[in-house]
Amino acid sequence: MPTSRSYRDSCGIARALDVVGERWALLVVRELLLAPQRFSELRHALPNVSSNVLADRLRELEHNGVIRRGPAPADGPRVYELSERGRRLEPILTALGDWGIAVPEPPAPSALSATSVLIFLRGAARPDPAAPPTTCRLELGGRVWTVRLAAGRAEVRPGEPARADVSLRTEPKTLSALLNDPGALATACADGSVAVVGDHAAVDRLLHAVTDPWSPGD
């Protein structure tokens, strides 16, 4: 059942933690930063949380105005999305992620969601501002994303691009490894862990846009 525990502390930090300090709460917020998601999609992105605990966190976050339920699409259940108040957590989570890169990686097996990798890519990519725009279609874990490199930055949005220079299909951990070592692309294509259709040079531009190599365990 949803928790009603409180630090009973008037400090703003303590009051914030009363709202988002429960286990899994901030990871739910992380998963909603780039796109609304259904309950089943959140379960897929957070494989180590039970359905009951996830349902509790969603109810608590909704009750506290951090998330809301969006309209039901024609093809399935309603989605969860961040409210304006919840969206204000984005820079806090970004800073927390930057701080956490120095923390050792958990023992295997560990999870890594598509949203996690794409948030890193969006923040760390520094493409050549003089290069022509590049649009990449990424299929990660069965979901499609559009990544556009232009004007020295990367834009990430959910869904199919109107037109793509290249399409890349892989898993989040493989993309993370390639951002850390772009030279491994040929091997990944050869062993089937990555499928590329279109301009391979566009994939190289995407992978080399991240100038500071990173992996979850750095």
* Model confidence at 213: pLDDT above 70: no
pLDDT single digits (tens) 76-103: 788 999 999 999 999 999 999 999 989 9
CATH 3.40.50.720 fits 114-209, yes or no: no
* Model confidence at 179: pLDDT above 70: yes
Tokens 């990424």 sit on residue: 138
pLDDT for residue 117: 96
pLDDT single digits (tens) 114-146: 999 999 999 999 999 988 999 999 999 889 999
CA distance 160 to 106: 33
Of the two residues 218 and 143, the one the predictor is more confident about is 143
* Model confidence at 217: pLDDT above 60: no
Tokens 């204000």 sit on residue: 88
pLDDT for residue 119: 96
Answer whether 12-100 and 114-209 agree in fold.
no
Average pLDDT for the chain: 92
Token pair of 165 as six digits = 């220079």
Domain ranges of the chain: 12-100, 114-209
Closest residue by Cα to residue 155 from 130, 122, 185: 122
The DSSP secondary structure of 101-148, one letter per residue, reads TTSPPPPSS----HHHHHHHHHHHB---TTSPPEEEEEEETTEEEEEE
pLDDT single digits (tens) 10-55: 999 999 999 999 999 999 999 999 999 999 999 999 999 999 999 9
Question: Which pLDDT band, with edges at 50, 70 and 90, does 216 fall under?
Answer: very low
- Please list, in sequence order, all residues whose beta carbon lies within 8 angstroms of the beta carbon of residue 164, skipping any fewer than 6 positions away: 135, 136, 137, 146, 198
pLDDT for residue 74: 73
**Percent of the chain clearing pLDDT 70 (strictly above):** 94
Per-residue pLDDT averaged across 169-192, rounded? 96
Closest residue by Cα to residue 135 from 199, 40, 179: 199
pLDDT for residue 77: 84
Q: How far apart are the first and last CA of the chain?
A: 36
**Percent of the chain clearing pLDDT 90 (strictly above):** 83
CATH topology of domain 12-100: Arc Repressor Mutant, subunit A (1.10.10)
pLDDT for residue 70: 86
